[in-house]
A and B are shown apart, each in its own frame.
Chain A
Amino acid sequence: MACLCPIILLSSCKKSNDDIAPDTKSGFTIEFENQVSGSPLTLNTVTYKNANGDDFKINVFKYYISNIKLSKADGSTYAIPESYFLIDASKSELTNISLKDVPTGDYTKIEYTIGVDYARNFAGAQTGALDPVNGMFWTWNSGYIFVKLEGTSPQSKATGNALTFHIGGLVDPNNTIRTFATDINAANPLRIRTDKKPNMHFIVNAAALFTGKTNISFGTLNFTMGGANSVLVADNYANGMFRLDHIHN
């Protein structure tokens, strides 16, 4: 009994500070709007320019978002369990994700892994977003492809001018797991309420793979499947790929 008292105290404290009923849960959605340097991403047809000035088209753009974690202004956090999502630019239903059973409250920060955490890469046969049927699992060297961009560029010397950027790898020095975090404007936090499911709108810049820390020239790098060159790309997109644009509360 003695140990219950602080909890009662704590929850009664909270109640007076916050008009949100404790222990209620609701949800929210995130829309990932895929773009290329400010223009909408259109697969297969539209020609874009990378920071190096090379022309390119994109045929495939897919990436994992996992381990979504929300923080409140008081520093408390909530990690959304089993949050693994595959965003695929070719499937509009896969650019909007829905999160359920999140404790109600005002959240002022969101963070997530770009890719899949270390343990889950080796955890055996998976389903859903992590099903190898999605073409994002390396069969010969266990682990997920975290970000996959395929396309063409006249500058690429590969067969068919192909661009093949399969970014993954978990072991140092070629670990490509990156975490993205962004603060949410405290004036308009993510307000999760039992009667309101807000929508977060992220802009995702596919061209961020090719600039940031290192400008990628397709004449010299047009193919990577893990390894040191994948690290260059991951270091580029770690900060530049995602931008929280707005929240509809």
Chain B
Amino acid sequence: MLRKLYVIAILGMGIAMMYACSKNQEDEVPANLNVAFKIPANFPVPAYNFDENKLTNPGFALGKKLFYEARLSADKSISCGSCHQQFAAFANLDHKVSHGVANCQGKRNAPPLFNLVWQKAFFWDGGVKNLETSPLNAIADTCEMRTDIATVIAFLKSTAPYPDLFKSAFGTEEINSQLILKSLAQFMGVMVSGNAKYDQVMRKENAAAFTSSELAGYNLFKARCVSCHAEPFFTDFSYRSNGLDLQSADEGRSHITGSATDFGKFRVPTLRNIEYTSPYMHDGRFYSLDEALEHYNTGVKPAANLDPLLKNGIPLSTLEKEQIKAFLKTLTDHEFIKNTLFSES
């Protein structure tokens, strides 16, 4: 049934024509490829669809070029891709928190980017409610790109080949915030990670099977972790305190809701591709999975808003930690991390 929901953007003859036109420009999408948004069979219907933002090769290609365009930032040094690196599943490897323009250090760890169309709120505190408007936050943040959308528009209007790229993407020479954001949403929305070993096992594809250690880890995971890290996204998208500190230094979700009961709560992060998204937690305090698991084993502090499920931590033996780690590594989607469709040209 879900397979029938595959949404495939079929782009007919237009593609050949487009590539004829842009031959001398940087090709963001291989000429023989149709950019498509596919829903993995074990995923539900997404929250964001492309009904009002028709997915096209040139729209996607423009979004990708903008994603990797450092000249959009105040000192022309930082692009979206600076803190969202493909080899880290579009998180920021080895950086506890984002480093923005003038090497300004931000407050929080850059989250990985994939499966965003299933997400209804963005950033660690869930402050942004639509995929399309999520880039505005990084553009404006004084510790990220430190600019504003009007400056970005002026730059793109006066910088080749952008006017041509907007024309091929949207059929108009006009460059406005809506078209910038829609093209970025096309690029980010297509970033689906749903072909890890775990997915293949779930879909019974390619005779994929867990090893005994992975299976033991999966069973432990289902018993002790899944109430927050729910399948198939390995997050239930809720906001919780996992007791990192007695008194959180970051107000977290309460910055958005103004509610004291949300103080120190953050969105439960996905565990997909976690092998490559170190460091972990909203402030990137843990560099290894061992440290993260040990936190649940012995480190949970009785913070004021500690999630009741973590009242007693999650006791794990050394063997159990190894088994859970083995399972977590089945969530790595090598195809996604290496897919040149998403790579900087």
Chain B 140-161, CB-CB to A under 8 Å as 1, else 0, gives 1100000001100100000000
Contact (Cβ within 8 A) B133 A125:
yes
Chain A proximity of B78: nearest CB distance (Å) = 16
Bound-state Cα–Cα, A128 to B137, Å: 20
Task: Check: B52 CB closer than 8 A to any chain A CB.
Answer: yes
Contact (Cβ within 8 A) A133 B129:
no
Q: A124-B52, A125-B133, A126-B178 are in contact. Are A140 and B258 (CB under 8 A)?
A: no
Chain B proximity of A234: nearest CB distance (Å) = 14
In this complex, how many residues of chain B approach chain A with their Cβ under 8 Å: the count is 29
Chain A proximity of B18: nearest CB distance (Å) = 23
Contacts of A132 in B (CB 8 A): 133, 136, 149, 177
Contact (Cβ within 8 A) A131 B178:
yes
Contact (Cβ within 8 A) A125 B182:
yes
Contacts of A139 in B (CB 8 A): 128, 133, 136-137, 139-141
Contact (Cβ within 8 A) B136 A124:
no
Bound-state Cα–Cα, A142 to B135, Å: 11
Task: Check: B132 CB closer than 8 A to any chain A CB.
Answer: yes
Interface residues on A, range: 20 to 34
Task: Check: A171 CB closer than 8 A to any chain B CB.
Answer: yes
Chain B proximity of A145: nearest CB distance (Å) = 13
Contact (Cβ within 8 A) B153 A140:
no
Contact (Cβ within 8 A) B258 A226:
yes
Task: Check: A103 CB closer than 8 A to any chain B CB.
Answer: no
Contact (Cβ within 8 A) B127 A133:
no
Task: Check: A92 CB closer than 8 A to any chain B CB.
Answer: no
Contacts of B53 in A (CB 8 A): 124
Contact (Cβ within 8 A) A133 B149:
yes
Task: Check: A223 CB closer than 8 A to any chain B CB.
Answer: no
Bound-state Cα–Cα, A171 to B140, Å: 23
Contact (Cβ within 8 A) A142 B127:
yes
Task: Check: A122 CB closer than 8 A to any chain B CB.
Answer: yes
Chain A proximity of B128: nearest CB distance (Å) = 5
Contact (Cβ within 8 A) A142 B258:
no
Contact (Cβ within 8 A) A142 B176:
no
- Which chain A residue has the least Cβ–Cβ distance from B137? A139
Chain B proximity of A193: nearest CB distance (Å) = 36
Contacts of A171 in B (CB 8 A): 257
Chain A 110-132, CB-CB to B under 8 Å as 1, else 0, gives 00000000000111111100011
How many A-B pairs with Cβ below 8 Å? 68
Chain A 217-232, CB-CB to B under 8 Å as 1, else 0, gives 0000000001110000
Bound-state Cα–Cα, A217 to B258, Å: 22
Contact (Cβ within 8 A) B130 A124:
yes
Q: Which residue of B139, B255, B258 contacts A228 across the interface (Cβ within 8 Å)? A: B258
Contact (Cβ within 8 A) A125 B128:
no
Q: A131-B177, A227-B258 are in contact. Are A125 and B127 (CB under 8 A)?
A: no
Contacts of B102 in A (CB 8 A): none
Chain B proximity of A168: nearest CB distance (Å) = 12
Contacts of A174 in B (CB 8 A): 258
Contact (Cβ within 8 A) B176 A127:
yes
Q: Which residue of B123, B153, B177, B255 contacts A125 across the interface (Cβ within 8 Å)? A: B177
Bound-state Cα–Cα, A137 to B123, Å: 17
Chain B proximity of A60: nearest CB distance (Å) = 15
Task: Check: A39 CB closer than 8 A to any chain B CB.
Answer: no
Chain B proximity of A117: nearest CB distance (Å) = 14
Contact (Cβ within 8 A) B130 A127:
no
Task: Check: A141 CB closer than 8 A to any chain B CB.
Answer: yes
Q: A139-B136, A140-B137 are in contact. Are A133 and B131 (CB under 8 A)?
A: no
Q: Which residue of A123, A126, A133, A226 contacts B153 across the interface (Cβ within 8 Å)? A: A133
**Residue in B52, B153, B257 whose Cβ sees the most chain A Cβ within 10 Å:** B257
Task: Check: B181 CB closer than 8 A to any chain A CB.
Answer: yes
Chain B proximity of A120: nearest CB distance (Å) = 11
Contact (Cβ within 8 A) A124 B141:
no
Contact (Cβ within 8 A) A137 B136:
yes
Bound-state Cα–Cα, A121 to B133, Å: 10
Contacts of B128 in A (CB 8 A): 139-142
Contact (Cβ within 8 A) A124 B258:
no
Contacts of A126 in B (CB 8 A): 178
Contacts of A122 in B (CB 8 A): 129-130
Task: Check: B256 CB closer than 8 A to any chain A CB.
Answer: yes
Contact (Cβ within 8 A) B133 A133:
no
- Which chain A residue has the least Cβ–Cβ distance from B135? A139
**Residue in B141, B150, B176, B178 whose Cβ sees the most chain A Cβ within 10 Å:** B178
Contacts of A227 in B (CB 8 A): 258
Bound-state Cα–Cα, A202 to B333, Å: 60
Contacts of A143 in B (CB 8 A): 129
Report A30-81 residues with CB < 8 Å from chain B CB. Answer: none
Chain B proximity of A212: nearest CB distance (Å) = 22
Query: Can you list 17 contacts pairing A with B, beta carbon distance less than 8 Å?
Result: A124-B185, A125-B130, A125-B178, A125-B180, A131-B177, A132-B133, A133-B149, A133-B150, A133-B176, A133-B177, A139-B128, A139-B133, A139-B141, A140-B137, A140-B140, A142-B128, A142-B130
Interface of A toward B, CB cutoff 8 Å: 121-127, 131-133, 137, 139-143, 171, 174, 226-228
The 6 closest A-B pairs by CB, nearest first: A125-B181, A124-B132, A139-B136, A122-B129, A141-B127, A125-B132
If A122-B129, A139-B128, A142-B133 are given as contacts, then 17 extra A-B residue pairs at C-beta distance below 8 Å, sorted by A number, are: A124-B182, A124-B185, A125-B132, A131-B177, A132-B133, A132-B136, A133-B153, A139-B139, A139-B141, A140-B127, A140-B128, A140-B140, A141-B128, A142-B128, A171-B257, A226-B258, A227-B258
